[in-house]
Amino acid sequence: MESPKTDKKKIAFSGIQATGSVHIGNYLGAIKNWVDMQEAHRCIYSIVDMHAITVRQDPKALRENTLRAYALGIACGIDPEKSIFFIQSHVHTHAELTWVLNCFTPYGELGRMTQFKDKSQTNADNINAGLFDYPVLMASDILLYQAALVPVGADQKQHIELTRNTAIRFNSVYGNVFEIPEPLIPETGARVMSLQDPTKKMSKSDDNPKSCVALLDSRDAIIKKFRSAVTDSEAEVVMREGKDGINNLITIYGLMTGRSVAETEAEFGGRGYGDFKTAVGEAVADKLRPIQEKFDDLMKDKGYVESCYRKNADRALQFSGRTLEKVYKKVGFLAR
């Protein structure tokens, strides 16, 4: 029986939204870390479709994107036997714990979330209660699994802080029900910037498609995008303040090939930017090829993918059900 604390490994939980195509920034900044963490941690990962509907979604596209993101996660190396990898809406404990935690989260604290304030501006015609409550659903995701670590981007730090506050508040009333989680935020080196404006984070919603490389882009498209990457007017491949474009390319090259900054600088010393950009494009395409092949195989074998997410939903439910049961008992719900 899977339970929150069967072995000594620390539990890590993270979630990703699947509202469009996954890009190399998501891969290098999040998914690759998730894959690498599977050895030393007990990992639980989720495609958070319930978070996705806080902004209006086309149902058919959401369904397709969810399936594709799940398959892509496996293709990238998330192991659905070793880790628990599930789709959020398949596991009803998440919505249930959210209700209870809503009653332990102050309105004022939710109103201070910068992501809520930003999204209220970009979705001014649909500022719904779910958008406001988004961090409580996220807290439930994490707390249900007694996670000690939450690998996330820096933009999610405030939500983890709220999760901790809510858990501490609940524990102070009812005893130690929840583990208090810590965020695990990658150093700035792992932040992948736009290829067209290297002062901005790479984003799938960028207007210029050349700024962003999707994991499923063709080899040709990848190399073309890197060849047209914005750099500077010098000709030296070195990591240095003010060379945002080159710094970004050195970072990407390093993360994709395992080369250190010094190795990259030595390899391309005295050669022009053209050579370097092509080499980065080729390295990225080489690294992505096996992921793309695995993804194509999985999409041809949907029965297998379905069997994975079904089994993993059962595992997640069993695991999270114990926490929810404890919470229900503590708050005084009569056992049925």
User: Per CB under 6 A, which region of 14-22, 283-291, 306-314, 316-324 contacts ligand TRP?
Assistant: 14-22
Q: Which is nearer to ligand TRP, 154 or 266 (CB)?
A: 154
Minimum CB distance to ligand TRP, residue 226 (Å): 26
Question: Closer CB to ligand TRP, residue 31 or residue 223?
Answer: 31
Is the Cα torsion angle 300, 306, 309, 312 positive or negative in sign? negative
Catalytic option among 5, 8, 82, 119: 119
Residue 300 catalytic?
no
Footprint of ligand TRP on residues 44-83 (CB under 6 A)?
Answer: 48, 51
* Strand partners for 87: 47
CA torsion, points 169, 333, 96, 185, in degrees to nearest 10?
Answer: 20
Do the beta carbons of residue 215 and residue 72 sit within 8 Å? yes
Rounded to whole angstroms, the Cα distance separating 32 from 9 reads: 19
Are 20 and 65 within 8 A, CB to CB? yes
> If binding means CB under 6 A, how many residues of this protein chain bind ligand TRP?
12
State the nearest-atom distance from the C-beta of 108 to ligand TRP, in Å. 20
DSSP one-letter string for 262-289:
HHHHHHHTTS-HHHHHHHHHHHHHHHHH
CB atoms within 10 A of CB 108: 7
Least CB distance from residue 152 to ligand TRP, whole Å?
5
Q: Does 13 bind ligand TRP (CB under 6 A)?
A: yes
Nearer to ligand TRP, 183 or 254 (CB): 183
Between residues 152 and 214, which has the closer beta carbon with respect to ligand TRP?
152
Residue 301 C-beta: closest distance to ligand TRP, Å: 28
Out of 14, 26, 54, 211, the residue judged to bind ligand TRP by CB under 6 A: 14
Contact predicate 250/261, CB 8 Å: yes
Establish whether 119 is a catalytic residue: yes
Residue 183 touching ligand TRP (CB under 6 A): no
| Neighbour count for residue 62 (Cβ, 10 Å) | 16
Residue nearest to ligand TRP (CB): 15
Is 48 or 91 the residue whose CB approaches ligand TRP more closely?
A: 48
Which 8-state DSSP code applies to residue 201? B
Closest approach, Cβ 194 to ligand TRP, in A, equals 18
Does the annotation count 5 as an active-site position?
no
Report the interhelical angle of 157-174 vs 302-331 (nearest 10°): 40
Point out which span in 12-20, 55-63, 186-194, 270-278 binds ligand TRP (CB under 6 A).
12-20
Active-site residue, from 10, 157, 201, 311: 201
Nearest to 270 by CA among 236, 243, 233, 240: 236
Q: Which of 10, 157, 204, 294 is catalytic?
A: 204
Helix, strand or coil, per DSSP, at residue 63? helix
Judged by beta carbon, residue 18 or residue 246, the one nearer ligand TRP is 18
Counting Cα atoms < 13 Å in the Cβ hemisphere of 119 gives 23
Site for ligand TRP in 123-162 (CB under 6 A): 138, 141-142, 150, 152, 156
Amino acid at 40: A
Q: 305 with 67: CB under 8 angstroms?
A: yes
Nearest approach, Cβ of residue 147 and ligand TRP (Å): 8
User: Looking at the DSSP assignment, which residues form a beta bridge with residue 84?
Assistant: 44
Give the residue numbers marked as catalytic. Answer: 119, 201, 204
- Residues lying near ligand TRP in the complex (CB under 6 A) are found at 13-15, 17, 48, 51, 138, 141-142, 150, 152, 156
